[in-house]
Structure 1
Amino acid sequence: MLLAGAAALASGLLPGPAFQVLAARTVPVLAFVVSMSLVTELVDDAGLFRVVTERLAALGRSRVTLLWLLVIGLAAVSTVFLSLDTTAVLVTPVVVLLAVHARIPPLPFALTTIWLANTASLLLPVSNLTNLLAQDRLRLSPAAFAGLVWAPALVGILVPLGILWLAFRRDLRGRYGPQPVHPVRDRVLLSSAAGVMVLLLPALVSGVPVQIPALAAAAILLALFLWRRRSALRWSMIPWRPLMLTSGLFMVVEALHANGLTRLVSGIAGPGDGLPALLQLAGLGVGASNAVNNLPAYLALEPAGGSPARLAALLIGVNLGPLVTPWASLATLLWHERLRTLNVEIRWGGFALAGLAAVVLTVPLAVVALWLVAGLH
């Protein structure tokens, strides 16, 4: 994909001025993605996610339902403040291992993490790369962005959880036994990582460009690891493949827009902020995400988001909708990769049917919530 983008630029399909505008918009976003990837990898290596999970197991008081509710809180907070990919990559293993050690069926916990990784990723700009792009287009502060989407974001959390409870209520009852406690390798590193996170989370929603606190946190953690655990640092902590994929997608889709895609999208997305128009745009986002992937779906349809409400409806489609096909979001693929290493089997037919049911219920309700709260009725 990166080679395709470079070829588009070299051949003139992506004009030089358009590329310069694209770079000015996306380089800060990509800097944030790289920085947060380093932060989450280093915080995980320091043992913070494991300690949090062990505390959750203790707080669950041996009750499976309470433990599930605590896992919901962990997955939601991780997604909202650290991004959906963090939940897929780092929260999934610790939550699934928690279920396995407690002799609880791991599937409800695994599905909870990936559904919330996608559907809880609407509230803040940092929750999803699509949100960062939309925030840049709308020129909104994090608080104003949350003010626009809080109602559909709430729907995106509650409706899938209701479906999961109905489907797995028998597995989510009963009690579990004591959990193993792992010794802390380096308390100084763990405490320092926790302190960095405590400072980082409010900084990400303070209104300061998000790449600045993310870069600062990554630099501090790198210095700490150079001091305390240099052997943990490795080049694979940088997400090279997603970075190349994303950069290439930006360039290819921008080249398509420069050669007529904008006119095509405007023709099929429909005009206006009425409820039917918002449902139509969100539906296009759902369909395009599950057919290709949610990032190119957003990039392709973004010109149709001519107002804050329309852009929010598109985000509902591309954030809450990628629950049907495994390639609909990168988070789902990363989640499945983690499950394979844990020997947890996922049947994609059942995954798709359950996801389709969740999308059919969640996306229209979220659009209606947006329409009502935005005062468009």
Structure 2
Amino acid sequence: MSTTVVPVVLLLCVLAFAVLRPRGLPEATAAVPAAALTVALGAVAPHEAWVQIRTLLPVIGFLALVLVLAHLCAREGLFEAAGAAVARRCGGSPRRLLAGVFAVACAVTAVLSLDATVVLLTPVVLATAARTGARARPHVYATAHLANSASLLLPVSNLTNLLAFTASGLTFTRFAALMALPWLAAIAVEYTVFRRFFRADLATPRATPRAEPVLVPVSAGPVAPDHTDGTDGTGDGPRLQAPGAGPRVPRFTLVVLALTLAGFAVASLAGLEPAWAALAGVVVLGGRALARRRVTPRELVGAASPLFCLFVLALGVVVQGVVAGGLASGLGRLLPGGDSLPALLGVAAVAALLANVINNLPAVLALLPLVAPAGPGPVLAALIGVNLGPNLTYVGSLATLLWRRILHQRGIEADLGRFTRLGLLTVPATLLASTAALWATLHTVGA
């Protein structure tokens, strides 16, 4: 095989392994040998592979710290408390419960990354729906969609964001300012479509809601099948059982989390890596949890997902081989130039398509070297594409695959047809709305 074909075959094998995960083996099991083969067969020179790894290492380190921070927040009960608060404030309405789930999922995704939404919040949402008597389907599909579409706001919200943030040359606060309107636009479109798409589910709760909501987070068991109940005649859906008091709010954790988020902005303005702020948050929360014996050092190391970090580094080398083998020239012919609205829409569309073909992480690794020289606008447009596009198919995002696996572990099978129909309604609309919002922001406040 030529050096053009080999990296493509290796990338497809790595992605297939990541999707199937035979015997539960980590993704790095296939990615590391694939990266070694890419170098050994001459598709990527050893020094080029080392440069790629050195470029990715700070981003991966930041990701690991954010994952540990999210884990510590979960151990302190932040997610259960958020679920309980949503259940109390829904006022017995499944539609207001959906609005609450949207609010919490958007906040968790933006601040603690999409992994926290998929892994830590999804089980809480399942438990909340079960205990309030609402049908779980609209709310659990919301966590899948918002893990992707609500990850536009901050560099820490998604690994793709961290990569784009590094390539854009923007500060933390500037990145957030430029992406705020696209983020809001995507969420508004998602919420509008969800209210319409799941109107039947939002009108009929289960007949016998369980008592006391949201006390079972990550270990929540399967949700029983939905069935129909009556409505309250208020026009806002059926009445649900009023939830009880629920768990306490971990105020210390909230304060540390807020200070860490502020630290991201301050560090960026001071010319420091935001990872220092994340490290400070981990040291404070982790030191407190270790002192109280709520976590172990081994647990914290595991929360950093070292094997997944290794997978990303190895994947970067494989993608570099694919790009050098001809993908770059092909994408270069497809990508429009400039930062006009049609150009940004073109970049976002190509990025979304590529994410659904080879997954969003390889897609952003392949696209960034091509769009970065054109300035922050095309970089952020590509980010919109790789973040919103994966809501169309299961394979577009590792987070979506993980969400599906979590549901399967709880005896719930996500329906491919429903997921695809929902994606066809949301993805084109969110791409258009968010890219238009980005263009408006760029031409109003400048890059």
TM-score normalised per structure 1 = 0.91
Tell me which of 247, 256, 259 is aligned to 2:322.
Answer: 256
The yes-or-no answer on 1:368 pairing with 2:428 is: no
**How far did 1:154 drift?**
1.8
Query: Which residue identity does 1:375 align to in structure 2?
Result: H
Which consecutive unaligned segments of at least 5 residues does structure 1 have? none
Which consecutive unaligned segments of at least 5 residues does structure 2 have? 1-30, 203-236
* CA distance in 1: counterparts of 2:141 and 2:295, whole angstroms: 34
* CA distance in 2: counterparts of 1:132 and 1:164, whole angstroms: 28
Aligned to 1:30: 60
Higher mean displacement: 75-84 or 165-174? 165-174
The yes-or-no answer on 1:239 pairing with 2:299 is: no
**How far did 1:323 drift?**
0.7
Query: Which residue identity does 2:86 align to in structure 1?
Result: L
Aligned to 2:263: 203
* CA distance in 2: counterparts of 1:346 and 1:138, whole angstroms: 36
Aligned-partner SS, 1:327: helix
**How far did 1:53 drift?**
1.5
**How far did 1:246 drift?**
1.2
Aligned to 1:280: 346
**How far did 1:164 drift?**
0.1
Tell me which of 250, 261, 268 is aligned to 2:334.
Answer: 268
* CA distance in 1: counterparts of 2:157 and 2:318, whole angstroms: 24
The yes-or-no answer on 1:163 pairing with 2:229 is: no
* CA distance in 2: counterparts of 1:24 and 1:34, whole angstroms: 16
Higher mean displacement: 6-15 or 136-145? 6-15
Q: Indicate conservation of the 8 Å contact 1:294/1:328, yes or no.
A: yes
Residues 8, 114 of structure 1: alpha-carbon distance in 2 compared, 3 angstrom cutoff = same
Q: Indicate conservation of the 8 Å contact 2:53/2:313, yes or no.
A: no
* CA distance in 2: counterparts of 1:10 and 1:218, whole angstroms: 38
The yes-or-no answer on 1:142 pairing with 2:142 is: no
C-alpha distance after superposition, 1:279-308 (max 9, x if no partner):
222111111111221111111122331222
Residues 170, 319 of structure 1: alpha-carbon distance in 2 compared, 3 angstrom cutoff = same
Superposed structure 1 runs of 4+ greater than 4 Å apart? 180-184, 230-233
Q: Indicate conservation of the 8 Å contact 1:85/1:330, yes or no.
A: no
Q: Indicate conservation of the 8 Å contact 2:138/2:198, yes or no.
A: yes
Tell me which of 331, 339, 363 is aligned to 1:297.
Answer: 363
Aligned-partner SS, 2:81: helix
Larger radius of gyration: 2
* CA distance in 1: counterparts of 2:304 and 2:154, whole angstroms: 23
The yes-or-no answer on 1:19 pairing with 2:79 is: no
The CA RMSD over aligned residues, in Å, is 2.3
The yes-or-no answer on 1:7 pairing with 2:37 is: yes
Query: Which residue identity does 2:354 align to in structure 1?
Result: A
* CA distance in 2: counterparts of 1:265 and 1:183, whole angstroms: 51
* CA distance in 2: counterparts of 1:310 and 1:231, whole angstroms: 43
Q: Indicate conservation of the 8 Å contact 1:79/1:120, yes or no.
A: yes
After superposition, where does 1:120-131 map in structure 2 within 5 Å?
120-131=150-161
The yes-or-no answer on 1:216 pairing with 2:280 is: yes
C-alpha distance after superposition, 1:100-120 (max 9, x if no partner):
111100011011111111111
Query: Which residue identity does 1:314 align to in structure 2?
Result: A
Query: Which residue identity does 2:35 align to in structure 1?
Result: G
Q: Indicate conservation of the 8 Å contact 2:155/2:172, yes or no.
A: yes
Q: Indicate conservation of the 8 Å contact 1:304/1:310, yes or no.
A: no
* CA distance in 1: counterparts of 2:71 and 2:346, whole angstroms: 39
Residues 359, 198 of structure 1: alpha-carbon distance in 2 compared, 3 angstrom cutoff = same
Percent identical among aligned pairs is 34
* CA distance in 2: counterparts of 1:200 and 1:311, whole angstroms: 26
C-alpha distance after superposition, 1:236-275 (max 9, x if no partner):
4232442232111111112333444333321222323233
* CA distance in 2: counterparts of 1:17 and 1:354, whole angstroms: 44
Aligned-partner SS, 2:241: coil
The yes-or-no answer on 1:325 pairing with 2:389 is: no
Query: Which residue identity does 1:197 align to in structure 2?
Result: L
* CA distance in 1: counterparts of 2:262 and 2:53, whole angstroms: 27
* CA distance in 1: counterparts of 2:71 and 2:132, whole angstroms: 26
Higher mean displacement: 65-74 or 127-136? 65-74
Q: Indicate conservation of the 8 Å contact 1:25/1:136, yes or no.
A: no
Aligned-partner SS, 1:374: helix
Q: Indicate conservation of the 8 Å contact 1:290/1:328, yes or no.
A: yes
Residues 343, 136 of structure 1: alpha-carbon distance in 2 compared, 3 angstrom cutoff = same
Q: Indicate conservation of the 8 Å contact 1:297/1:318, yes or no.
A: yes
Aligned to 2:97: 67
* CA distance in 2: counterparts of 1:98 and 1:6, whole angstroms: 46
Aligned to 1:357: 425
**How far did 1:315 drift?**
1.0
C-alpha distance after superposition, 1:113-140 (max 9, x if no partner):
1111111111111111111111111211
Aligned to 1:94: 124
Higher mean displacement: 253-262 or 78-87? 253-262
Q: Indicate conservation of the 8 Å contact 1:126/1:210, yes or no.
A: no
Aligned-partner SS, 1:178: coil
Query: Which residue identity does 2:258 align to in structure 1?
Result: V
Q: Indicate conservation of the 8 Å contact 1:294/1:329, yes or no.
A: yes
Residues 96, 334 of structure 1: alpha-carbon distance in 2 compared, 3 angstrom cutoff = same
Residues 367, 101 of structure 1: alpha-carbon distance in 2 compared, 3 angstrom cutoff = same
Higher mean displacement: 333-342 or 224-233? 224-233
Counting matched residue pairs gives 372
C-alpha distance after superposition, 1:181-223 (max 9, x if no partner):
5667xx9xx5543342232222233324221122222233332
Q: Indicate conservation of the 8 Å contact 1:286/1:318, yes or no.
A: yes
* CA distance in 1: counterparts of 2:133 and 2:294, whole angstroms: 36
After superposition, where does 1:34-53 map in structure 2 within 5 Å?
34-53=64-83
**How far did 1:175 drift?**
1.9
Q: Indicate conservation of the 8 Å contact 1:291/1:328, yes or no.
A: yes
